[in-house]
Amino acid sequence: MEPGIYIVLAIIVLLIIIVISNIKIVPQAYVFVVERLGAFHAAWGTGLHVKVPFIDRVAKRVSIKEQVVDFKPQSVITKDNVTMQIDTVVFFQITNAMQFTYGVERPISAIENLTATTLRNIVGDLDLEATLTSRDII
């Protein structure tokens, strides 16, 4: 055999490896955020996808399942100036993977801050008795 045939075979094997390694399967309940040359290109849903070698990259794998975050107790002041500690649990689900990836630097921290602010606003309008009895409203 000629040495040229080995080079051709090596190139073919290399191309097959590159193509196979760029086939991506997105599992159920996940979205892959794909960047092309560093900019947002697409959000891949469940199924089989092929990315362009050396140009596309999976920037983030985002779970779209409902998630639970337990935050540390918040100190809040009621309408009648009573300070109390309220433990917070937040259930959330990501609906836009692109906004989750690029919209805020630390999304979970943003959710915690928004929850604390909303909780303070709601409890600040209630007196102690109403706060203790209206858990479902809060």
Pair (79, 116) in one structural domain:
yes
pLDDT band at 82 (very low <50, low <70, confident <90, very high): confident
- Which residues constitute the domain of residue 25? 3-63
Pair (30, 42) in one structural domain:
yes
Pair (50, 81) in one structural domain:
no
- pLDDT for 1 equals 64
Pair (59, 71) in one structural domain:
no
Pair (110, 129) in one structural domain:
yes
pLDDT more than 70, % of the chain: 99
Q: Using CA atoms, how far apart are residues 13 and 75, in angstroms rounded to an integer?
A: 63
Q: For 85-133, how does the pLDDT look when each residue is reduced to its tens digit (9 = 90+)?
A: 989 999 999 999 999 999 999 999 999 999 999 999 998 888 888 888 8
Does the structure show a pLDDT above 90 at 49?
yes
Check: pTM over 0.85? Answer yes or no.
no
Three-class SS string for 11-66? HHHHHHHHHHHCEEEECCCEEEEEEECCEEEEEECCEEEECCCCCEEEEEEEECCC
Give yes or no for a contact between 30 and 63, defined as CB atoms under 8 angstroms apart: yes
Give yes or no for a contact between 72 and 108, defined as CB atoms under 8 angstroms apart: no
